[in-house]
Amino acid sequence: MLTYVRACVRKVFVSTQKQQNWLEAKWLIDPSNTELFQERLEQYGSLGSYENLPMEPTGQETDIELISYFPDTADVNALAAQLQSLENNTTRLLTVKKIPQGNWATEWKKYFKPFLFADNIVIRPSWEPYTPKQNEIVLTIDPGMAFGTGQHDTTQFCASLICKIKKQRPELSTLIDVGCGSGILSLLASLIGFQKVVGFDVDETAIETAFENLEKNPSVRNVDFRLSKGTISELFLHPADVVAANIIAETLVELRDDLVSLVAKNGCLILSGILPDKDELIKKSFSDLVLCEMAQSQNWYAYLYCKK
């Protein structure tokens, strides 16, 4: 069964340290503070966190139940008091429980289930069996350190826009995935018919994770992942019909000229990872392109630009 639940994996960390027990803490947080809250958890020693965003029948987002992990020496209750004061919001610590060392390697896996990613594409982790329904295509993705499974709004916006533009313009055949992370968007692009896909990232672990996920999907063809150690221009990429960049707004603006140069004539640029208060910044920075479509949730925006 598919789970229509959106979640963001801030970090997945399977430790090799000799540790007796781990602590699993469940929090209830305001969705508008998710990113900042997770950053604070990491600063206080969190080894990983997962957030579940169940959709109400009305389509409105509720408070997020976020699960985080700590070494068993952490004082999570004291941390909760500090965080609540620091963030000045309604953050609540729900539960704290110990996880024996032997259970750590599998405990976090229970939060990852098959789900409908975009269009008819279903994502499943390798440890979860799934029988596809008629016309469904299954993509096997395992989360790696610091990279998610594709359930966050920003990734799903990109995926939906990629699928939509491919249906509208089937002649589009090449795609560049900027900041590819675990490679989800690149693999998706291949599955829906793009003939040549290149994903790149500045993080070596991201590229390793992307290649591992590529190996798990033998039906995927013509996908390459590259490590960017300097500027985008040093990758010697040819302009592509579609360029997708799911990164924060400030970086999108910083890379603005490079991103536009990667888009072929009459091609498309998909930008995601944009907070509402960065909306005007993005529109101003990319004003020379035609804004063809946008997607949005309570906390995130994505744009589809066309280059003439």
Helix (H, G, I), strand (E, B) or coil at 113: coil
pLDDT at 153 over 60: yes
Average pLDDT, the chain: 83
pLDDT classification of 132: cutoffs 50, 70, 90 = very high
Contact 256/286 with Cβ under 8 angstroms? yes
Helix 153-168 crosses helix 184-191 at what angle (to 10 degrees)?
A: 20
Q: Is 146 a residue whose pLDDT tops 70?
A: no
Length of the chain: 308
Provide the 10 A C-beta neighbour count for residue 203: 16
Cα angle: 285, vertex 286, 290; to 5 degrees: 155
Amino acid identity, position 105: A
- Measure the CA–CA gap between 283 and 276, rounded to whole angstroms: 12
CB contact set of 43 (below 8 Å; sequence gap of 6+): none
pLDDT in tens, 163-201: 999 999 999 999 999 999 889 999 999 999 999 999 999
Instruction: Determine the average pLDDT of the residues in 26-44.
Output: 79
pLDDT at 282 over 50: yes
Question: What residues contact residue 84 under an 8 Å CB cut-off, 6+ apart?
Answer: 91, 92
Question: In 10 A of CB 308, how many CB atoms?
Answer: 8
Question: One-letter amino acid identity for 58?
Answer: T
In order of 59, 83, 100, 246, the CA distances from 77 in angstroms are 33, 10, 20, 35
What would the pLDDT profile of 84-131 be if each residue is shown by its tens digit? 776 566 788 999 988 776 565 566 677 778 889 988 999 998 988 899
pLDDT interval class at 234 (50, 70, 90): confident
* Nearest-angstrom CA–CA distance, 29 and 268: 36
C-alpha–C-alpha distance, residues 211 and 52, integer Å: 27
Helices (H), 140-270: 153-168, 184-191, 204-215, 249-254, 256-262
Domain ranges for the chain: 22-109, 129-307
> Exposed, middle or buried by CB within 10 Å (0-12, 13-18, 19+), for 231?
exposed
Q: Kindly report the CATH number that applies to the domain delimited by 22-109.
A: 3.30.70
What is 129-307's CATH topology?
Rossmann fold (3.40.50)
C-alpha–C-alpha distance, residues 54 and 226, integer Å: 35
- Mean pLDDT confidence for 215-236: 90
For residue range 60-87, list pLDDT tens digits in order.
556 778 888 888 888 898 888 887 776 5
> Which amino acid is residue 128, in one-letter code?
E
